[in-house]
Amino acid sequence: MITRKRLAAGVCGLLAAMAVALLPTPATAGEPDAKPSPKVELTLDVSGSMRARDIDGQSRMAAAKQAFNEVLDAVPQDVQLGIRTLGANYRGEDRKVGCKDTRQLYPVGPLDRTEAKTAVATLTPTGWTPIGPALLGAAQDLKGGDGTRRIVLITDGEDTCAPLDPCQVARDIAAQGIHLTVDTLGLLPDAKTRKQLSCIAEATGGTYTSVQHTKQLRDRVHQLVERAADPVVTPVPAEGGRQCADAPRLKPGLYTDREKFAEHRWYRVDVRPGQELRAAVSIGADRAVNNDYGVLLRASTVHGREIVRGAEAGDGRTDVISSGLRYPKAPMDAPDGATEAPAETVCLQVSNSFSAPASVRTDPGMPVELSIDLVDGPSDASDAASFGLGHGWWLLGALTLAGLVAGLLWGWISRWRVTVWRTN
């Protein structure tokens, strides 16, 4: 006789088997990595000045912790990430001791998000700002391996441990030829801090960004970590057109241009069916600009119909503002007599809403960096990894299917039990 327990066990076993069947097949064990793992060390200022409550109504330290937690959730799997602090431990007034206060909070390696977040949660603003020693320590932490190496330095003030000049330290690191880049982010920086952090970044081929808000900090750190995972190539000059019809036709790659205040520039990209266009643009404010600004990246057809857009706006002092978009073109069959379906010409419009006082020169325009990538999509619309089902959405579909089948089975079993009960 079939009991209720046996029925439940049977249904559970069936669902378990379905779940295993729906899981993706793991990669063969022992297969070599396609490329060396990139290494990134986030180097955070935890000096006493980080107590100031002037970023979105919270302290600078709280803003940094929030940004770190969100960035840690999104770190690519192939990135080896570590965290180093400066000014986090020594509370005294002995300058010699305070200028040695830098340590590795989390070792560079495969990321355990829970452990890294727990380590960040323990931080309390404490002491000095030994930027130079922290850079030297971070360079040691990143030694070894053939992958890209990047230090992301976040601080709210200039170094307090001269005569060890952090800018000279950065030059010495660059002179070693170890291909290590230092990117710097200044939290509400003053002029001296901006100058010092810009010098550090320029010495190693990195970037400097001024940060006013938590979202800006999170987005920029995330962008830099992703850049380490997918390092950029040398940009190619490209002059955008005044309209799509006379715009340059771009292939996947990195391009540079210049754009004046409130100008529109156009570029063209050919996207084949089954491909996804990924585009991103950054505009650098390399001169004094007014506090309200924005950037627009817009994709449209050659007839002017908008497909998708990405936009970002801000206020206050900034050095760079970025936006991006993604456009997946659905697969389609080739027409009669053709070997493949024709590509679609997508028009990319880059616009900005920067403005400046009358005394500021508008020529040459501000530097523009445009990244174009075309990713091959599935050839079959029934493929489970098709557009819209990647990055975890397949699991939702699998669970929905499993729930539907389980419901049908349970309904059939319930009706069968009622029939057996009436017969007896």
Predicted TM-score (pTM) of the model is: 0.54
Full set of structural domains in the chain with CATH: 39-229 (3.40.50.410), 236-376 (2.60.120.380)
pLDDT score, position 5: 46
Q: What is the largest CA-CA distance in the chain?
A: 97
pLDDT score, position 129: 93
C-alpha distances out from residue 269 to 200, 301, 374, Å: 36, 11, 9
Along the 424 residues of the chain, how does pLDDT read in single tens digits?
Answer: 444 444 444 544 544 444 444 444 444 444 444 578 899 999 999 999 999 999 999 999 999 999 999 999 999 989 999 999 998 888 888 888 899 999 999 999 999 999 999 999 999 998 899 999 999 999 999 998 888 899 999 999 999 887 889 999 999 988 887 789 999 999 998 889 988 998 898 888 788 888 999 999 999 999 899 888 876 566 788 999 999 999 999 999 889 899 999 999 999 999 999 888 989 999 988 888 898 899 999 999 999 999 999 998 888 777 788 888 989 998 888 787 777 788 999 999 999 999 999 898 888 889 999 999 888 654 443 333 333 333 344 455 566 676 667 667 766 666 666 565 556 5
List, as own/partner pairs, every contact residues 360-364 make where C-beta atoms lie below 8 angstroms and the sequence separation is at least 24, other chains included.
360/287, 360/288, 360/289, 361/287, 362/260, 362/261, 363/260, 364/258
pLDDT score, position 320: 82
Place of tokens 């616009």: 351
pLDDT score, position 387: 35
Query: How many angstroms separate the CA atoms of 220 and 269, rounded?
Result: 26
Cis omega (within 30 of 0) for bond into 38: no
Query: How many angstroms separate the CA atoms of 282 and 369, rounded?
Result: 5
Place of tokens 């300058």: 95
Query: How many angstroms separate the CA atoms of 221 and 310, rounded?
Result: 19
pLDDT score, position 418: 56
pLDDT score, position 422: 58
Query: How many angstroms separate the CA atoms of 406 and 394, rounded?
Result: 18
Report residue 104 as tokens. 């590795």
pLDDT score, position 322: 87
Query: How many angstroms separate the CA atoms of 286 and 357, rounded?
Result: 14
Residues whose CB falls within 8 Å of the CB of residue 186, separated by 6 or more in sequence, listed in order? 155, 156, 193, 194, 197, 208, 209, 210, 211
pLDDT score, position 246: 94
pLDDT score, position 303: 94
